[in-house]
Structure 1
Amino acid sequence: MSDTTAPQSTPVQALKVSKVATGSGKASKATQIFLAVMAVIWFFPILYAVMNSFRDYAYTAKHGYVSFGGFTLQNYKNALERADFTHTMMNSLKITVPAVLLTLFLSCCVAFVVSRFSWRFNLALLGLFTAANLLPPQALLIPVYRMFRQIPMPSWISDSGTLLNSHLGLILVNVAFQTGFCSFVLSNYMRTLPRELYESAVVDGASVTRQFFGLTLPLCRPPLAALATLETTWIYNEFFWATVLLQQGDKFPVTSSLNNLRGEFFTDNNLVAAGSVLVALPTLIIFFVLQKQFVSGLTLGATKG
């Protein structure tokens, strides 16, 4: 019986491995330094705004913003009183929740058809929905405004009698602009689902509706959670269409209420910063609560074959 010995590495090979390890270590350290610098650059404006939201305007007017001191909580108290965040937050809730739910449901329907059925206009349908994200909102301002002004609505839906100056109109605009992106993401994820699951469902007599609600939607919980987080943030922070399509102050969402913090002759930037922090708190809470589902939803589709 012959003994076998493991091949030993030569000094040249050991030197090459050492150089590769040293090079990879330097690259990793350089990457960490680069990411740290970028994080500081990215967070500096946010941290600077948060710090100034706790500072008195008279102090910063005298000593400048490149100073330290004059801290107070009065800005937050004044922002809550002047901007009426309680009422405007409810308006944002009335707009955001239906818009997000309707966007995700319609996107699931489009993605299911595109990913599970092969027909002539398959890619054209997906491209049609995705094209809405390629158009700047400013280009559609006048057509959408005129269209909403001419569409009649019953009085129990809109006080103005049209889609203009109503929460329903704002919901429909957000759904129209966000459905394409969600359909694109969900269709790519649904294509990774094994076809054997659907073949087994067909053998068991499951209809298309049963396959959609009983099989596809439960498997799409991770990407739906990630998209729900993104869509809630985007629709909640939407400012352009709310300013254009709403004309009554009692219907404005919370982002538009920041205009109430601007003075007639000057603007207290510290007060506006405090109001901005209050407006951003709900989205930050939602992100940290759904952080695990958000990250898993973004990475799960990449690990499937």
Structure 2
Amino acid sequence: MRFVTYSANGETYYGAATDAGMIALSPDFPQWPTMRDVIAAGGLPDLETAAQRKEVTHSDFTYEIPVPNPEKILCVGVNFPDRNAEYKDGSAAPKHMSLFPRFPRSFTGAGRPLIRPPENHTLDYEGEVAIVIGKGGRRIAAENAYDHIAALTLCNEGTIRDWVRHAKFNVTQGKNWDNSGSIGPWLVPFTDAAQLDDAQIETRVNGEVRQSDSLNRMMFPIREEIAYISTFTTLVPGDIIITGTPTGAGARFDPPKYLAPGDVIEVEVNGIGTLRNTVEDET
């Protein structure tokens, strides 16, 4: 089952995605106003049961970010061995993971354009798997970490590259331009470790494969990400962890291959789906 947040006819709904369209489920669960509330209540199985009894309600719709207004979106940087080597600074694999925050407003939904701002045109792509926390906790042991995941989704962690270089250690300003990245198109419930351990990720720009790798090659596996992050902050239901991108982002080509209006970017992971977006200039 694929669960979504979407808009139609001027209203926002959550529900289930089918090949024929959307099944609105939020009217049936007024106790859970948003998908974040569904996740906090452990309600995804209830949505699945309800969806099996209903027909498609919307064939004309717009995807929104699957979990609206999460308390935290934390991103793991430089998390594949080849990605670390791209920096050409002679450094060995880091002892601890790199982390930075992103704000919900910096993401848009599937099928919608990433926005290139007029101040700088170094808009880049980063295909990643994102996990959604279902059971909160603090100091979560790595061996128990998967018990805290409610669902999986995809992310294009779009970045304004020149702006990540504005300060010595800080990348936040290059990572948070409005609508510069995307999350979606839907949530896939997490039920089996193989969904992550055997996952392959591929990012394409205009059909050209730019990134391709296996999640099992991460320097900091997702279990460790949850354990490390929950050491210093309490994870709560609906929090999103964006787990790291493989080598092959546009900035690493010579010359760089930054995104331009009209480009089509696809992030695909087996068992989750494909996140597709275009690019437009801000107007």
Q: Is the strand fraction higher in 1 or 2? A: 2
TM-score, structure 1 as length reference: 0.23
TM-score, structure 2 as length reference: 0.25
Larger C-alpha radius of gyration, 1 or 2?
1
